[in-house]
Amino acid sequence: MANLNDNIRGKKLFKEGGSGAEASKGSDGEITVSKEKSDELAGLTDISDVFNDDGLYQSNKFLLKQIEDLRSDVEELHAFIKDAFGKDSSSAASQGSKGDTGATGPTGPKGSTGSTGPQGSAGAKGDTGAAGTNGTNGSDGAKGDKGDTGAAGAAGAKGDTGSQGPKGDKGDTGAAGSNGSDGSDGAKGDKGDTGAAGSNGTNGSDGAAGAKGDKGNTGSTGPQGATGATGPTGPQGATGAAGSNASVSGFSGKKTVGKETWNFENGLLDSVK
């Protein structure tokens, strides 16, 4: 960025003075020359004499180069100012139309996070809505009647016991075998003289034993009588209402009702199996 000074740094190299006056520098820093020289300098249009005079050229060639560079800069600056602001300085002083937007520059680094702002005040509390009315309670349903207790079922009749078959006849006892006949007695010897005792006669042999009679046959066992049919079991009666805990007859023991065995203790029903 550059700023312009209020006054140009350079001063005029010459300005017209009086006729025949000597060149002199004034309080404003500018050089005043005689009218004759001023007119001559103002009338110069051709620098070729400087190039043709070798002495002048050698002495001023660097100055000539710098002047040409300066002239080129002034020419470019002149064209820039003319295109940018025009020829009228009054228009150039006002702001012209906005130029095209330049290309977006690269994204800069992320800035640090700012401090958290103060918490805003709490908003006013909204009004509480009106409470809805309670619904009506439904009426209680009527209580149903208690069902009747079923009558106790009659005990099923006990089936008849089948009759026992007749006992088979006893077999006859076999006849006893006849005894064998005794052997005949031996003949009695004559009585000897008394003297030496005669020898004893031999005993007759025993008769053979008679044969044993056969054993009589055992009678066959009579057939067993068929078992009588069991009568059908009567339907089980509904359970009666529980009796009071009072002794009826003081009975202790078992009673069979259908397929159930009822155990009593001192007149009270103890268990049912």
Q: Please give the chain's pLDDT, 273 residues, in tens.
A: 677 777 777 778 889 999 999 999 999 888 999 999 999 988 988 989 889 999 999 999 999 899 999 999 999 999 998 988 888 877 776 555 666 777 888 888 887 787 777 777 777 777 776 766 666 665 665 666 665 665 654 554 554 554 555 665 665 665 665 665 665 665 676 775 666 665 665 665 666 766 776 776 766 666 776 766 766 766 765 665 555 554 445 788 888 888 888 888 887 888 888
Q: How far apart are CA 27 and CA 263, in angstroms?
A: 157
Residue with tokens 């004759």, as numbered in its chain? 36
pTM of this structure: 0.30
CA distances from 174 to 29, 177, 179, 212 (A): 197, 9, 15, 11
Backbone angles phi, psi at 63, to 5 degrees: -65, -35
Specify the pairing of strand 15-16 against strand 268-272: unpaired
User: Residue 112 — left, alpha, or beta (φ > 0 → left; ψ -120 to 50 → alpha)?
Assistant: beta
Whole-angstrom Cα distance, residue 96 to residue 86?
11
Alpha-carbon torsion (51, 54, 56, 61), positive or negative: positive
Per-residue burial over 206-220, b = 16 or more CB atoms within 10 Å of its CB, e = otherwise = eeeeeeeeeeeeeee
